[in-house]
Amino acid sequence: MPLKRCSDNGKNGWKWGDQGSCYTGKDGKNQAIKQGIAIEGPEKFAKIMREEAAEWHGKTLYDSLSDDEKELANALISLAQKIGPLDKGEGVWVGYENGSTNEVKDIGVKCGNCALHKSENACAILDQEIEMDGACRFAVIPPGLVKPKQVEKDIEEYLNEDSSGKSIIKKEM
């Protein structure tokens, strides 16, 4: 039973396993950890957490990439191994947006859908802590997780607005 993300009444939180309570707020993760220790006992809990830390959460996403997309992901990982985390590299602009400022998360462009995320808060190519709803410009997302129809609709609406946000398309009478 690993530590998992959850949602309760629209608020993001943490819980232990599938049956545990969802703890929200800034202390939610600590409460879920305490719940895990109480359920599993300290030694078993520590073992489970070590195994979970070694797991690559984006692996199933990586496996669903096309060959070309895997090549891109592999190139980014190789580059990060060669020069270090891309967000620490000189002359490399990652463009990371956290979950609250990521304007494209609702269409599926987010770390949680990227094949490069290692865990809930770690990325294979970045040093900084990530959020599942955050995103950077290097996202490698498998087909089907980004909703292109919504993107097309948003672009069309944007192109048909003036600088004040009002539609410039006149309705025929």
Q: Coil, strand, or helix at residue 96?
A: coil
Q: Is residue 70 part of a domain?
A: yes
Domain check: are 44 and 64 in the same one? no
- Using alpha carbons, list the distances in angstroms from residue 140 to 46, 104, 114, 117, 143: 32, 14, 5, 10, 10
Q: What is the pLDDT along the chain (173 residues), one digit of tens a residue?
A: 577 777 788 887 888 887 778 998 888 888 988 998 898 888 888 777 766 655 666 778 888 999 999 999 999 988 888 888 899 878 889 999 999 999 999 999 999 999 999 888 889 899 888 999 999 999 999 998 998 776 677 777 778 776 666 666 655 54
Nearest 5°: phi and psi at 65? Answer: -75, 155
What residues make up the domain containing 91? Answer: 59-153
Q: Is residue 131 part of a domain?
A: yes
Domain count, the chain: 2
Span 149-160, pLDDT tens digits: 766 777 777 787
Domain check: are 23 and 71 in the same one? no
**Length of the chain in terms of residues written:** 173
Span 92-102, pLDDT tens digits: 899 999 999 99
Give me the CATH number covering residue 81: 4.10.490
> How many helices (H) and strands (E) would you count in the chain?
5, 5
